[in-house]
Amino acid sequence: MRSPSERPALEVRDLETRIDTKLGLIKAVDGVSFSVDHGETLGIVGESGSGKSITALSILRLVPKPAAYIARGQVLLDGEDLLEKSETEMRKVRGKRISMVLQDPQTSLNPVFSIGFQVVEAIGMHADAPRKTLVRRAVEALRRVRVADPERRVDDFPHQMSGGMKQRVVGAIALGSFPSVLIADEPTTALDVTIQAQYLRLLKDIQQETGLSIIFITHDFGVVARMCDKVAVMYAGRVVEYGPVREIFNSPAHPYTKALLNSVPAVEEDVDRLYSIKGQPPAFWDMPEGCRFEPRCDVAMQRCKTEYPNKFARASTGSGAHYADCWALEEPEWIPSRS
């Protein structure tokens, strides 16, 4: 589902978020760029600590203060730079135009307020309507995420609900004001598999109905294959490979992406040992000078130790840009990219 508008729903350009830690100033997000079109789903994939969640929080300008701050870049929502907005203006963006679902439904809801209070509040923040109307809308929002018997459920408290049901409520909170972009930060990691499938289906359905753009943060390639149109692979604070989901799966370019795909066990093959990437991701306060993946890379060259790779784009792609940061791509099929 493509919108006629040329402009992406959300575009992040050269975003850098720093965190002041005891071990020094680190760049948790280091020059990250990507974009999501209307009705499109972008997957952000990477190991824990690769900067996925901080990227998401940076978009909403909710990085933990005062240690973390956004040092440079642009976050363009329908062409407007969110980084130039005042805090008051940002509040009208959060929950209204960009929303977010967090990882753990068990802790995402406030235990001392009823479900109704929390959904009504989310809607009421962005709508000037009498309470009765807000309650009605909250019930509708809960029905949209398929909470059974929402009229009665509004009086319940989080501890009276299952994990899957709570995550639906979080979904209702996120989608209650019909945002154009939803950031889903590993929303199904804490759910069991059947509930997970239901939840993904639900997000897909809502996307089809409303033309919602989704940024889906995950480390699960199965979820990526099912949900996403595009993928950004993050490693140590940078997007190392970016492209259409089909290309990423069929012809991954970056050794890290290849390694990640290799670590997903195939069902047909009878493997004794599961593949795992050797070594650990580099510590943020001790970044390699050159390519950040070099110490763990099988095809590393001398140059990789000293110089961070250029961005190489696939010379001819029909289905959208595909590029990767790797020196091994200096071959005719790939051309240096300016972006």
Partner 1 sequence: MKRNLVIRSLQSLLALLAISVIAFAMSHLTGSPVDAMLPDDAGPEEAARLTKLWGLDRPLYEQYFVFLGNALQGNFGDSIKWQGQTAFGLVLERLPATIQLGGFAIVVSTIIALPVGVLAAVYKDTPFDSAGKLVALLGQAMPNFWLGIVLIWIFAVHLNWLPTSGRGGFSHMVLPAIAMGWFQVAAFMRLTRSAMLEVLDSEYIKLARIKGVPERRVIWVHALKNAAIAPLTYFGVIAGSIFTGSVVIETVFAWPGTGLLAIDAIRGRDFPVIQAVVVTFAGVFIVANLIVDTLYAYLDPRIRYQ
Q: Would you tell me which residues interact with partner 1 (CB under 8 A)?
A: 60, 62, 91-96, 99-100, 102-104, 107-114, 121-122, 125-126, 157, 159-160, 170, 173-174
Report in angstroms how near the CB of residue 277 gets to partner 1 at its nearest.
29
Helices (H), 283-336: 302-306
Furthest C-alpha separation in the chain: 68
What distances in angstroms separate CA 282 from CA 232, 275, 336, one per listed residue?
A: 19, 20, 26
Cβ closest to partner 1, residue 87 vs residue 269: 87
Cβ closest to partner 1, residue 125 vs residue 225: 125
Report in angstroms how near the CB of residue 94 gets to partner 1 at its nearest.
4
List the structure tokens of 259.
């390694």
Q: What contacts 295, CB < 8 A, 6 or more positions away?
A: 279, 282, 288
Cβ closest to partner 1, residue 123 vs residue 277: 123
Report in angstroms how near the CB of residue 150 gets to partner 1 at its nearest.
18
Residues 291/327, Cβ–Cβ less than 8 Å? yes
Distance, in Å, from the CA atom of 57 to the CA atom of 61, rounded to the nearest integer, reads 6
Cβ closest to partner 1, residue 66 vs residue 318: 66
Report in angstroms how near the CB of residue 13 gets to partner 1 at its nearest.
22
Distance, in Å, from the CA atom of 207 to the CA atom of 158, rounded to the nearest integer, reads 26
3-state SS, residue 6: coil
Cβ closest to partner 1, residue 183 vs residue 239: 183
Distance, in Å, from the CA atom of 250 to the CA atom of 19, rounded to the nearest integer, reads 36
Report in angstroms how near the CB of residue 93 gets to partner 1 at its nearest.
8
For 243, list phi and psi in degrees, rounded to 5. Answer: 175, 180
Report in angstroms how near the CB of residue 334 gets to partner 1 at its nearest.
39
